[in-house]
A and B are shown apart, each in its own frame.
Chain A
Amino acid sequence: MSDAILVMKDITKTFPGVLALDKASLSVLPGEIHGLVGENGAGKSTIIKVLAGVYQAQGGSLSVNNTLISSVTPQAIHDAGVRFIHQELHLVPHFSVAESVFMGQELTGPFGLLRKQMRIRSEEFLRKTLDVKIDGNTLIRDLGTAERKLVQIARALIDNQARLVVFDEPTAPLASGEVGKLLAAIRRLKERGIAMIYVSHYLSEITNICDRVTVFRNGQTVAVFNEIKKDSAGALIEAMVGREIKNLYPKNSHSPSSPAIQAKNLGDGKSFHDVSFTLHSGEVVGIAGLIGSGRAELIDTLYGLRQATSGEIWLNNKTIQLSSPADAVTRGMVLVPRDRRHDGLVLGMSVSENVNLGSLKDVSKMGIEMRAMALARAAKQIKDLDIRPPNPSMIARLLSGGNQQKTVLGRWLTTNAKVFLLDEPTVGVDVGAKVEIYQLVETLAQNGAGVLLSSSDPGELIGLCDRILVMMRGRITHEIDTDGLSIDRLVAMTTGATGSSVTRNKSVGAANE
């Protein structure tokens, strides 16, 4: 494959005590979209950082366009025409689009910055190359997430020197409607002959746009798929995990009993209106909806993070007033928030401190913390949930996404919580940890807890839930039984592609299939 634009061969990288890359290889052909998949810790991001010149590899070779690059520095890689679209947006909120596109590569004349020219060129690039119309004077903070992503892409490509672009989880922050916009832009780049590496947890996107796929496991290249079809996902998972995962989702056998939480005509005056539903104990109910559908705000309101302006929340058949999450927690209702690094964990505290944070009274005598008790409780959760590394003194910041999420769940499992609000619990979590979290949700429901699962992954909603509430523009448009519900139909409902009539009959979903 001497015509490859990028050849990384036998790359080895060790960190103290860890072999992160073990003779891993990656080669990309000109003009192709090359998928890179693997579980968290498989070495995807490490090899990307080696390519970027951020990490120095201990062994192996790297050549771009048949030219061996002996000293891999960020500058050398940039000069070779390799660009990176990082997962985080990294934009200044109060900068304009033009300022952001030209950040670090501003156009200047004898009298300082050429603001007008920068604006025109950035607008032109966005329109011609990415097919979006954005005013160059708009502030970043007034843009949607997808547009921000496009600005980020424009910044990497505006100098027209790019030959290979690396996308690291580009759709992670996007709603499903916005994903299409981004994928369309990526396809346009391909038409212009730019090669791309596409790193993603979302296998549906990989099978959708990639020409070839490299699979990493334990720091090694375990498979290269030269042909990708719509139904390749199963084979990809098998290669990633190293075993066949027959069932991502546990078999559910729920027996709903009394109502756990009820919303009655709930509204916050802005993001959602007139929301009514019932979640029973021993039941898993899903909430589907695009970003901006009011899903996130509804969850926050149920937990007391936001205040409702109309309607009522009932818990265990009693109406309740929540002025803060503390009120919810004392009543046995807990939240696993969507942004676990910001809201879920105190990142600077240890696993033990985080696990015990919600129930400190249980590990204290007369207000004094009993450290042995606290550590023992954390150790139990670490064992039950298989949190790795199994060290209660480990700082939460250093854990992987899946293990952080398990730590948040572990905190609530030590309490007597009966109602669990889970908001996007598996975003950024690898397949192995996902399966464990799914099993945990199932166990919770079987033990009689009520689980409300808000998610943008339709497969997850159908696989785990008894019923799904579909929200659109702040209202529940469908309430549907998951028996026989197809992913396509659920996506159609969340995007409003079906009629907007409210389907309340539980069996309607199945009957329509």
Chain B
Amino acid sequence: MSQTATVDHVVAPDSGKGAVDYIRNGKGIVSWLTTIDHKRIGLMYLGSVVLAFLVGGLFALAVRLELLTPSRTIMSAAGYNQAYTLHGAVMVFLFIIPSIPASLGNFLIPIMVGAKDVAFPKLNLFSLYIFWIGALITLSSLVLGGIDTGWTFYVPYSSRVSTTAVVNVTLGAFIMGFSSILTGLNFIVTMHKLRAPGMSWYRMPLLCWALYATSLVQIVATPVLGITLLLLIFERAFQIGIFDPALGGDPVLFQHFFWFYSHPAVYIMILPGFGIISELIAVHSRRKVFGYKAIAFSSVAIALIGFLVWGHHMFVSGQSELAGTIFSFLTFIVAIPSGIKVFNWTSTLWGGSIKLDTPMLYALVFLILFTIGGLTGVFLGMLGVDLHLHDTYFVVAHFHYVMVGGTAVAFFGGLFHWWPKMTGKMYSEKGGAVSAILVFIGFNMTFFTQFFLGSRGMPRRYYNYLDQFQPLHAFSTVGSWVLGAGFALGIVTLLVSLKNGKQAPANPWGGLSLEWQTASPPITENFESTPVVTHGAYDYPLAQGQKEHA
């Protein structure tokens, strides 16, 4: 491979001679379940979240199928309410929140900063077990009565009226919260204390910056969700009266608590996606990132300002007009750093050497879908316009553009990008490219339609809907099949490569960050000897023999 020519100046060890790679170092299921190697833990997280994605995806397809006709199609109203609630809860708590940080982040952060492992490897394994336990408790609701409250668990419906297994799901989410907290804590300490010699903050890959910001939010926001869910559990089990208006409590307080976590949680979900897109665009354009510091600090800015905008979920909830006004204003301010990122990514393409490998295709899909997601967020941030659009399909479409078109697409892009590194196998470019295109088409069919539905007054969480909306709903349902096929093809392409894929070179894309300077797959402690870093993660001009640019 000629790409290796671009990296021969890097002061890094000649990797992969002698030591055994991390996959073959230790055989049998016990060696995996007791491992403290961050790469193996990352891989186990990866398997878990992809499984959760499939479960959540099946619920999504069921929901869309039910909505093919205005009244009953395949299930009862109660069944429908459970299907969309489980879709939301599984996707949010079991897939999106852990997806990028716990799987790719776990695998990559230590390698990217030149460390042998995360700061607390045993704690890392412990986090995985907590995640599994929480996930199992959540999923136990499937056989113990389901849940029909919506993933937001609004009281007093969730605390008094619903007869489903609300406690299982909230308790599971509460437990998984600790996994999230401990993972974030581990990452922050790792990046502070274990960077290799020469790895200054500004030489770190932007994925690290993004995950640093994510970890901050995880640590600060998740405990509040923890206490909120705990209060809800007590409210439901013992009727303690904090949230139930019949006992003097306040249901709007629950919403404040819930969104104080869950809005920052939106950034837990999207910031890692930002990080991945920064990597994909830079590496597949072989271009020094335009505005490195702007991208890095905008992540941190989003993480911080993101704590002050939770009330924009509650413009029509009964909170005061003044509060609504302040939250709306701050919402517009937090839009700026996201905009800056998009401009910087686009500018990074200028003067690059762009190759449309599968990861790059996913990055471009992200760029377009996230731009739509961001711009439609502006509608919802406007107080007056939100009066009309709140809790309609417009909101549903908007957050799917951000969460699926943003995070899930970034996750798949990242998966294709680092798959050769993680498994040592190259996948079929054709399969990857077709999956990216199918996802793009299917996604827009499914969700762009929903902007029409919402603008025209279709409320969300409706089992029976007005007949006039059927054509749009039917189109959206057909789109969901294309979208499902796209994601399925992506997963199949990767799985097939495990069996038939060619051996991956150490650096298939010609990247400069440290993970590309070690073997594919890496050895157990990542590097033969501690790497010494002499340049930034994206110093392509230097690697191409150009003179230092002032």
The answer to whether A and B assemble together is no
Chain B residues with CB under 8 Å of chain A are none
Chain A residues with CB under 8 Å of chain B are none
